[in-house]
Amino acid sequence: MKSIIFKVNYLILLIIFTSFFAFAPTAVNAAEHGTRDEAIALTKQVVESLNTTGKDKTFAAVDDKSGAFVKGDLYVFIYDLNGTCLAHGANDKLIGKNLIGMKDADGKLLIQEIVDLAKTKGSGWVEYKFWNPVSKTIDAKQSYIERVGDVLVGVGVYKN
C-alpha cells in the first residue's frame, strides 16, 4: 500500500513540475512583449525629451540599446518627414539612411505609410511586418506614430 501511495504522490509531483516548466517560458516571453499602452507612453516620453532636451540628446538616448527608451521588445525609432532614419533603438545600421522605399515582408511600403500618417494625421497606428530583435523573427507589428515638428517618433508592438 505504501508503494502505491508513493507512486501516486510521485506522479502528482511529476505532473506539477512538468506543467510548471511547460508554461514557464510562455510567462517569461509574455513579459517581454510590450503593450499598445506602453508603446504610446514610451512615444510620449520621447516627445517630451525632444521638447525639453532637444534633438541631439534625445537621438543619442534613443540610440542607446540599454537606455531608458528600450524596454523588452519595445524600442523607439525617429525619422524625418522624408523617410530618413535619425535614431533607432534596435538597429543603428538604419541611422542616416533614407528608407522611404523600404518594404515589409508583404511588400507594404512601411516607412512611406508611417511618414504619410505623420504628415496627414499627426499621430496614429500603422500595421506591418518587421524584424523582432527579441524573437529574431519577422513578426506582425503595430507602431504608434507621433509627429513632432519636422520629425516623427514611433514605438511598435509585436503581435506574435
The residue-averaged pLDDT of 96-124 equals 97
CATH class of 34-158: alpha beta
Contact (Cβ atoms closer than 8 angstroms) between residue 140 and residue 37: no
pLDDT at 131 (0 to 100): 83
> Does the pLDDT of residue 14 top 80, yes or no?
no
Contact (Cβ atoms closer than 8 angstroms) between residue 36 and residue 127: no
pLDDT classification of 97: cutoffs 50, 70, 90: very high
The residue-averaged pLDDT of 26-51 equals 82
pLDDT classification of 2: cutoffs 50, 70, 90: low
Nearest-angstrom CA–CA distance, 105 and 142: 14
Nearest-angstrom CA–CA distance, 36 and 44: 12
The residue-averaged pLDDT of 25-52 equals 81
One-character DSSP codes across 93-116: GGTT-B-TT-B-TT--BHHHHHHH
- E-only strand ranges, the chain: 70-71, 74-80, 85-88, 123-132, 137-148, 151-158
pTM for the whole structure: 0.78
pLDDT at 54 (0 to 100): 97
pLDDT at 26 (0 to 100): 34
Q: Which of 15-19, 28-32, 49-53, 131-135 has the highest mean pLDDT?
A: 49-53
Contact (Cβ atoms closer than 8 angstroms) between residue 78 and residue 152: yes
> Does the pLDDT of residue 49 top 80, yes or no?
yes
